[in-house]
Amino acid sequence: MDEEEAVAFKKFLDYLAPDNEQAAVQRYEHLRDAAIKYFACKYFACRNVSDPRACADEVLRVLQLKIAAGRVIEHIESYSLRVAHYVKLRDWKRHQPEVQPSESEGKDKNPGAESPLEILEKRVERNRLSRCLAKCWQTFSDEDRKLMERYGLGSEHHKAEREALAAELGITEEYLRQKIHRLKKKLRACLNDCLKKISRKV
Amino acid sequence: MNQEKQDQWIKSYLLGDLPPHEREQVEARYFADPDFLERMDVIEAELIEDYALGALGVEKAQKVKQHMLNSPYQLEKLQFAEMLMERFDQVETVQDVAVEAALRRENWVANLRGFFSQRRWPSFVIPAAAAVLIIGGLIFEISRMRRQLDNLRLAGLKQQETIAQQQKQIEQMTGKPQPSPEERRNDLVKDQTSPPPTMKLATFLLLSVTTREVNEKPPDVLIPTGAAEVRLQLVYNGKRYSSYQPMLENADGDVLLPPKSGLKTVRVGNQSIVNFDVPTKNLIENRTYIVRLKAKRASNYEEVGLYDFIVRKQ
């Protein structure tokens, strides 16, 4: 980040929540998450060619530039949505030829065929994932690990077990659902960090 | 809007079922409201987990694939769900085995204690009885294994004779020499050493033959054109084991794929399923195939389920 960008970022945080850095960062994170969600859904996506995270960062970059240039934005959330829409259109135009192959091109390509190298890469990737998951799993307390295991996966499974679990903990099932989601989110974040570290080493 | 309706609204958005104006409403809402966005995250994660578990209907699963798993970023979420699924299944299996072992140990010790506590024995009797039991058990086990080995040898010889007779008959009828069983096996292995295709386009749920009526024919497995692999989901509701090994055979009893060991069950509702991926090149149209599901018991695999199906191609 160069000096100009750093100043723009600081101004943006001030704009989001003056004199309260923590609140500003929270609001910033929310805007980023919302933009990621926007780009991750197919009909608004960057048409499979860009990473939704990169698209979301582009939205935030545009917002920072606008604020730094003295633009007064009354409602930053709805303005962010408009910027996201604009970034999507721009990105879509840029990548349009790549993502809309003609029918004959589509038939020639065999998306299921993988080279031995690709298969090997996938295995290596899976191995890395397993290692990272085992490592991250250990960073959770025994209590949290058991909670995740007992809760299980999916929306409809283990209903009785989940009811019993919520009763044991003295919380509502809805709160338990949210708690589990936050634990899994934390686990995923740990997994992503671990994978980044490994790929940096490689 | 109550919670349930809101969840349904979010689901419809994620599955691409909402009209444009409602999609815009959802977007405006999640940009403005962090709690709503978190709710979306929860529902999205559950849908992807349900997809990984195979717990969605065909239509919904297709929508998830089409609308929610269309970028590497989204596929990372699916991969995460699959890894958790494996992890939880492993944990459960290990716990099951540990509980069973503990129960067995408890029963055995309790029985033994009960037997010996009923009367007073001279001190040498217990070790002597134990030695007799162990030696007797060993002798019995060795003779049982010998008998089993003899039977197997006999069966093998008979099978070889039958194959030789059939080969002669074919040679007489066609006038062409036939490949030996050894050569045929080598051909099969040669086929299977090429890299496996990974495009899974077709999934079929198979129930054990024991759940079918006597005169009912095996189910059809309809393979779409271009599918490189079919995933057979073997429904298994018996006792749980740490690892499974499905074997694909043709109606003649020839094993068509090298055995895949170490497979785990996946829970779907109250059912347990073993996923078995079969390259379509091993399946010929209108033929009947058999899958023998074996489970690891101590160091051996024992048959725990039998499934059959007829291949149809589109």
For residue A116 the two structure tokens come to: 């031995």
pLDDT-based confidence at residue A1 (cuts at 50, 70, 90) = low
Contact of B79 with chain A, judged by CB distance below 8 Å, is answered with yes
B66–A157 C-beta distance less than 8 A: no
B55–A81 C-beta distance less than 8 A: no
**Average pLDDT value for chain A:** 81
Q: Residue A127: what pLDDT?
A: 82
pLDDT, tens digit only, all 314 positions of chain B: 788 899 999 999 999 888 888 988 999 999 999 999 999 999 999 999 999 888 888 888 888 988 888 777 888 889 889 888 888 776 555 555 555 555 555 555 555 555 555 555 566 666 776 777 777 777 777 777 777 667 666 666 666 666 666 666 666 665 656 555 555 555 544 444 444 444 556 788 888 877 776 667 888 888 888 888 888 988 887 777 778 899 898 877 788 888 788 888 887 666 678 888 898 888 888 888 889 888 887 777 788 888 888 898 87
A155–B47 C-beta distance less than 8 A: yes
Run of H or E including B68:
none
Q: Residue B32: what pLDDT?
A: 93
Distance CA B166, CA B161 (A): 9
Q: Residue B105: what pLDDT?
A: 54
A187 pLDDT more than 50: yes
Run of H or E including B204:
strand B200-206
At A9-36, the pLDDT tens digits run: 888 999 998 888 889 999 999 999 999 8
Distance CA B312, CA A50 (A): 40
Q: Residue B121: what pLDDT?
A: 54
Instruction: Please report the ipTM that was assigned to this predicted complex.
Output: 0.80
Nearest to B38 by CA among A184, A167, A18, A7: A184
The nearest alpha carbon in chain B to A177 belongs to: B42
* A183-A185-A191-A197 Cα dihedral, nearest 10 degrees: -120
B220-223 and B300-313 strand pairing: parallel
Q: What is the mean pLDDT of residues A79-103?
A: 67
B70–A45 C-beta distance less than 8 A: yes
Q: Residue B189: what pLDDT?
A: 46
At A36-53, the pLDDT tens digits run: 888 887 554 444 446 788
Output A184 or B104, whichever has higher pLDDT.
A184
B199–A113 C-beta distance less than 8 A: yes
B269: left (phi over 0), alpha (psi -120 to 50) or beta: left
CB pairs under 8 A between A and B: 121
Q: Residue B246: what pLDDT?
A: 92
pLDDT-based confidence at residue A100 (cuts at 50, 70, 90) = very low
Chain B residues in contact with A30 (beta carbon < 8 A): 34, 37
For residue B122 the two structure tokens come to: 């001279």
Chain B residues in contact with A135 (beta carbon < 8 A): none
Chain A residues in contact with B91 (beta carbon < 8 A): 149
Distance CA B311, CA B230 (A): 11
Chain B residues in contact with A34 (beta carbon < 8 A): 30-31, 37
Grouping H, G, I as helix, E, B as strand and the rest as coil, residue B4 is helix
- In contact, B216 and B236? CB cutoff 8 Å: no
